[in-house]
């Protein structure tokens, strides 16, 4: 309750309002009468501040669940590296062709100034020597047994390393076409063993006549 005393004008206004309230409001008049008989009530002590209510203990927070680990896709298979024939074997074959057919001499010769008859005669010698080397040191067989020019059908899964499809290749097998070349496959190789210390890079020795 405020303890500030109103000034004179406020008290006159309050008295006039109270006068008419006492006349018109019996309840208000009874309150004024009781106040005059019992006096102004002593100020009540301020109510103690409410004690803080204990908050319930927070529920334990569950440990974060580790995210499911998605296994990484398997690493792609390594790309197959090209396979190279043994260098010594290739040089050895070239040396055999030179020895039996003068193959290197024929290929390295500039034949543009020779007549066709002269070239044909030299080619016959080279052909005979090359054929001798192949038959002596290799066993050959055709990839396809059908006659060249015959029609055949390649089923799905055919050996693409042994058969090359040419022309307008559209879609997936089976493919039907004409056999243009039977192909060749080496079924056996019989290259001679080199002596220890032999230099395979020397395809033909230089000749010095004394």
Q: Which one of 112, 146, 180 terminates a domain?
A: 146
Q: Using DSSP, how many helices (H) and how many strands (E) does the chain show?
A: 5, 4
Distance, CA of 33 to CA of 26 (rounded, Å): 10
Residue 36 pLDDT greater than 90, yes or no: no
Number of folded domains that form the chain: 2
Domain presence at residue 103: yes
Q: Domain residues for 19?
A: 8-38
Domain presence at residue 116: yes
Residue 68 pLDDT greater than 60, yes or no: no
The residue with greater pLDDT, 167 or 14, is: 167
Domain presence at residue 54: no
- Of the ranges 40-49, 136-145, 187-196, which one carries the lowest mean pLDDT score? 40-49
pLDDT of residue 137: 95
The confidence band for 39, taking pLDDT boundaries of 50, 70 and 90, is low
CB–CB of 126/106 below 8 Å?
A: yes
Q: Which one of 128, 146, 164 terminates a domain?
A: 146
Is pTM, for the whole model, over 0.75? no
CB–CB of 138/115 below 8 Å?
A: no
pLDDT of residue 8: 58
Domain presence at residue 30: yes
Domain presence at residue 110: yes
The number of angstroms, rounded, from the C-alpha of 110 to the middle of its chain's C-alpha atoms is: 52
Residue 167 pLDDT greater than 70, yes or no: yes
Q: How many angstroms separate the Cα of 94 from the Cα of each of 26, 97, 102, 105, 114?
A: 140, 5, 10, 11, 25
């Amino acid at each position: 309750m405020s303890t500030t005393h109103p000034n004179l004008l406020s008290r006159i206004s309050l008295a006039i309002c109270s006068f008419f309230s006492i006349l018109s409001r019996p309840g208000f008049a009874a309150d004024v009468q009781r106040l005059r008989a019992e006096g102004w009530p002593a100020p009540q002590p301020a109510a103690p501040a409410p004690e803080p209510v204990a908050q319930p203990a927070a529920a334990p927070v569950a440990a974060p669940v580790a995210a499911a680990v998605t296994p990484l896709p398997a690493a792609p298979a390594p790309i197959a590296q090209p396979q190279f024939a043994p260098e010594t074997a290739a040089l050895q074959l070239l040396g055999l062709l030179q020895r039996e057919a003068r193959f290197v001499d024929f290929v390295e010769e500039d034949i543009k100034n020779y007549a066709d008859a002269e070239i044909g005669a030299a080619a016959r010698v080279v052909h005979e020597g090359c054929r001798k080397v192949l038959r002596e040191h290799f066993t050959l067989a055709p990839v396809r047994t059908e006659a060249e020019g015959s029609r055949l059908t390649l089923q799905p899964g055919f050996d693409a390393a042994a058969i090359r499809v040419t022309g307008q290749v559209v879609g997936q097998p089976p493919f039907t076409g004409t056999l243009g070349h039977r192909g060749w496959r080496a079924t056996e190789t019989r290259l001679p063993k080199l002596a220890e210390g032999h230099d395979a890079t020397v395809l033909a020795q230089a000749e010095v006549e004394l």
